[in-house]
């Protein structure tokens, strides 16, 4: 069966406005829908099928990757693979990979490529029949190159969020360690302070959210991922979204994905039904 490459516009930059999404956002979404309909008609006329989407979401710690990747996976029925969740699961299960990764995570250091790359690529083998979204991987150029040797990356969503906004956001973040559920005292608080909504178990501050560790993580992210962004920009698959609030970035991300995700994966969507975390 022939597969049609999903076209992607190179290095487009989206800036979230300070106001609520309104007619302009709806108009952009409508235009994206018209473009997608035209592409569907072309594919049908050519007698070819749309290929699975291989996508990545990138952003510094606290940029909103987790919240947005959950929304994307739900609205477009993509399989989400989070490197952080994958690592924490291995640490909790005390696997060989978890034992190797634990000291790096505790100190807020980047997990070495020889640990992270085989772990992720092995997990992706289970997702071969699906469209997927990687969250938190790749973080280095060797990781990106290893991923590209195994799979063709069609789309990279880059979240450009100011350092000050991230520091403020993570200072109010609490997590339920067993499930990974994330709360924020400012915009997504638990029903009872310090307690998980579903289990009643205590919430904790992640060790890598401590200010001194966070500053180190942000600096490491900036240094390590700049070459990755340049790599994907050269390939013409990078889309950058700039802003400070997840809810205001979401309409632009959603409109972009409407032109990229195979329509069989679509679900009904709304702009603001979820809380940000």
182 labelled as ligand-binding? yes
Bridge partners (DSSP) listed for residue 134: 56, 81
What distance in Å separates the CA atoms of residue 167 and residue 210, rounded to the nearest whole number? Answer: 10
pLDDT at 21: 43
156 labelled as ligand-binding? no
pLDDT at 31: 55
Closest CA to 97 of 112, 77, 108: 112
Say if residues 166 and 60 touch (Cβ distance below 8 Å).
yes
pLDDT at 29: 46
139 labelled as ligand-binding? yes
Q: How far apart are the first and last CA of the chain?
A: 41
Strand pairing of 132-135 and 79-82? parallel
What distance in Å separates the CA atoms of residue 3 and residue 9, rounded to the nearest whole number? Answer: 19
For each of the chain's 277 residues, which pLDDT tens digit applies?
333 333 333 456 666 654 444 445 445 445 544 554 554 454 444 433 457 899 999 998 889 898 899 999 999 989 999 998 999 899 999 999 999 999 988 877 789 999 999 999 999 999 989 999 999 999 999 999 999 999 999 999 999 999 888 888 877 888 998 887 888 887 789 999 999 999 999 999 877 677 777 788 888 888 889 999 999 999 999 999 999 888 899 999 999 999 887 664 555 433 333 433 3
Looking at domain 53-259, what is its CATH homologous superfamily?
A: P-loop containing nucleotide triphosphate hydrolases (3.40.50.300)
Say if residues 188 and 275 touch (Cβ distance below 8 Å).
yes
88 labelled as ligand-binding? yes
Answer whether the bond into residue 138 is a cis peptide, omega within 30°: yes
User: Nearest 5°: CA angle at 35, between 150 and 21?
Assistant: 95
206 labelled as ligand-binding? yes
109 labelled as ligand-binding? yes
pLDDT at 44: 47
What distance in Å separates the CA atoms of residue 233 and residue 239, rounded to the nearest whole number? Answer: 8
pLDDT at 16: 67
95 labelled as ligand-binding? no
142 labelled as ligand-binding? no
**Strand, coil or helix: 131:** coil
187 labelled as ligand-binding? no
């Amino acid at each position: 069966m022939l597969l049609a490459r999903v076209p992607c516009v190179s290095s487009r930059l989206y800036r979230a406005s300070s106001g609520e999404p309104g007619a302009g956002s709806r108009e952009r979404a409508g235009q994206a829908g018209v473009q997608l309909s035209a592409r569907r008609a072309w594919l049908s006329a050519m007698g070819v099928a749309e290929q699975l989407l291989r996508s990545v979401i990138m952003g510094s710690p606290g940029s909103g990757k987790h919240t947005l990747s959950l929304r994307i996976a739900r609205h477009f029925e993509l399989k989400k693979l989070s490197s952080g969740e994958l690592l924490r699961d291995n640490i909790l299960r005390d696997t060989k990979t978890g034992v190797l990764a634990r000291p790096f995570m505790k100190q807020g250091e980047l997990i070495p490529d020889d640990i992270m790359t085989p772990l992720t690529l092995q997990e992706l083998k289970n997702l071969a029949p699906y469209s997927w979204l990687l969250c938190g991987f790749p973080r280095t150029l060797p990781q990106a190159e290893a991923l590209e040797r195994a799979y063709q990356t069609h789309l990279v969503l880059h979240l450009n969020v100011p350092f000050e906004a991230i520091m403020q956001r993570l200072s109010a973040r609490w997590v339920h360690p067993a499930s990974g559920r994330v709360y924020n005292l400012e915009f997504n608080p638990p029903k009872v302070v310090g307690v998980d909504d579903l289990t009643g178990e205590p919430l904790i501050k992640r060790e890598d959210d401590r200010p001194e560790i966070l500053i180190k993580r942000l600096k490491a992210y900036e240094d390590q991922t700049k070459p990755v962004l340049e790599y994907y920009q050269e390939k013409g698959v990078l889309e950058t979204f700039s802003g400070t609030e997840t809810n205001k970035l979401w309409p632009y991300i959603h409109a972009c994905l409407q032109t990229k995700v195979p329509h069989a994966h679509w679900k009904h969507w709304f702009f603001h039904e979820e809380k940000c975390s």
